[in-house]
Chains A and B, each alone.
Chain A
């Protein structure tokens, strides 16, 4: 059973988005604490906490911050990634709604640690309401003198920075960090080749760090409780609390803040009230639609943190858990996922642009009952040839789920395809058809 677990971000305090309520509940204490340290000490504290990025790659946050060049006379920027377009992910919007000022405070701490000029919160265009909520929160923080020029006086410091909200306009690819930067620059959201990495050549050619909304919103909590205490929450190599967004066939879907390393079965059965109609589970996607699935008979004992999921061939991703019951048509689901990545491929790299389309086409054929068992191998082959051969991770994101579903649920796919491809090939002698032989390809 899940005991009472700490809530570091989605704290149960009504009206926490209002400045006065936030202040009454320790608001900006963490930033004030940061100001008593040197910037490097702040970065080291984040390093010591073991905090890893919540946007999908689980990269150590403090280490990322330390990549930013020091002692140079250039403006430096932070882009806060709230694009949240991965199907199955809906956690950041909970932060915009419930605790936007903690995100603002986190940005200030990151800004002080890295010596930033400004932070840009990039929010997906579909989140009209949440863009507005975040804009209101930023404005209220400005009005109260916590952000911008006025913060120098408020906090008695030489440091100041600006925070802006930038609204996207419907492009999954903009959640990729270099694509997000292009989008912020008023360009099409095409990913950039790395290197140069954002810390060297980022927004407008200046040193830039890109962090997920949840990652930054966690930082004030780390400073408040101390890195050591934070590192003791959850899984040792991937500590802290994580916002799990659970969707699909569960009785109580939603966003739940739980320690990393929580058992997947506890999340499904205890927190989310089990599967609708008490059905069996056929498949679970553990971290958003780009992560390979787990079979229903694999989930017993699975802990939800990056180091526990890696040996199972999947990842924590964005913590978006999608539960599918025994009656789910996985061919249909795989086709839907393939369609999504085909739709969202930006078209720069051939393997992704063409491969995602091929995978969709083959899966459509299988769904119609016109596929053969060779098509299953072909799907895996196409996926293998996309993976690792593209500028950005969208290629991998498209390849992994298709390959994952086809290999883990091969039995189900086999039932939907013809065993072999049959050709009626004419036997031609001197330009005349003499007989029709059936050629069978295994």
Chain B
């Protein structure tokens, strides 16, 4: 697979750069674009981003590894995130994580062998009033329960 942004995407990158006095600031938005396009940030992708923004590979790696939402390994097509922090734990979010983990047969930060699902025990997602919460990719499911989540996972299969 060739690692290259399209012309339109390169234009978008220029736009990001123009928002800040120093183009280095565009690194986070560009890493987001790269992750959305290639699913995760491989060494090749990070090198490509570094070249695009005139940064060292080490700097890009440093930033990518600092933030948990940048994936440093391939994740599932559906990334299931279960919050177990306090507000969710008070509504049995920790049990929900165990149940989802058993159902998918994978643990924290693991991926099913078919590449369909990955699971993450996440820190507070800012949905405390809707505890317990589960997120699948970018969508939040609040005040949820295991039977709903279970059914949803079955439907995604």
Contact = CB atoms under 8 A, between A and B. Distances in A.
Is this pair of chains taken from one and the same complex? yes
B69 A126 contact: yes
B90 A171 contact: no
A13 interface: no
B148 interface: no
A344 B122 CA distance: 12
Contacts of B24: 185-187
Contacts of A88: 86-87, 124, 128
A167 B126 contact: no
Interface in B102-136: 122-131, 135
B25 A126 contact: no
Contacts of A93: 126
A129 B138 contact: yes
Interface stretch (B5-13, B26-34, B149-157): B26-34
Contacts of A90: 126-129
Contacts of A169: 28, 31-32, 67-70
B52 interface: no
Contact of B68 (A164, A171, A185, A188): A171
Interface string A184-227: 11111100000000000000100000000000000000000000
Contacts of A126: 69, 122, 125-126, 135
A87 B133 CA distance: 13
B119 to A, nearest CB: 16
A84 interface: yes
Given A125-B69, A340-B85, A253 B126 contact: no
Interface stretch (A25-33, A149-157, A260-268, A329-337): A329-337
Contacts of A247: 87, 90, 128-129, 131
A232 interface: no
Select the residue from B26, B62, B90, B130 with max chain A CB neighbours within 10 A: B90
A255 interface: yes
A188 B140 CA distance: 27
A45 interface: no
A104 B33 CA distance: 25
A322 B129 contact: no
Interface residues of A, number: 54
Contacts of A204: 20-22
Contacts of A167: 28-29, 32
Given A85-B126, A89-B126, A249 B68 contact: no
A322 B69 contact: no
Contacts of B86: 87-88, 248, 285, 289, 322, 333, 336-337
Contacts of A436: none
Interface string A75-106: 10000000011111110010000000000000
A170 interface: yes
B146 interface: no
A333 B89 contact: yes
A166 interface: yes
Given A88-B86, A126-B69, A186 B25 contact: yes
A126 B137 CA distance: 10
Nearest to B70: A169
A187 B126 CA distance: 24
Interface of B: 19-22, 24-29, 31-32, 55, 62-63, 66-70, 84-87, 89-90, 122-131, 135, 138-140
26 contacts: A75-B21, A87-B85, A87-B123, A88-B87, A89-B126, A127-B126, A162-B19, A166-B29, A169-B31, A169-B70, A170-B69, A171-B67, A172-B123, A186-B22, A186-B27, A188-B63, A189-B66, A246-B129, A247-B128, A247-B129, A247-B131, A322-B86, A333-B89, A336-B89, A337-B86, A343-B123
Given A187-B24, A255-B129, 14 more contacts: A85-B123, A87-B124, A90-B129, A164-B19, A166-B28, A167-B28, A169-B68, A185-B22, A187-B63, A289-B86, A322-B87, A332-B89, A336-B84, A340-B123
Interface of A: 75, 84-90, 93, 124-129, 162, 164, 166-172, 183-189, 204, 245-249, 253-255, 285, 289, 320, 322, 324, 328, 332-333, 336-337, 340, 343-344, 346
Q: Top 3 nearest A-B pairs by Cβ distance? A: A170-B69, A169-B67, A247-B128
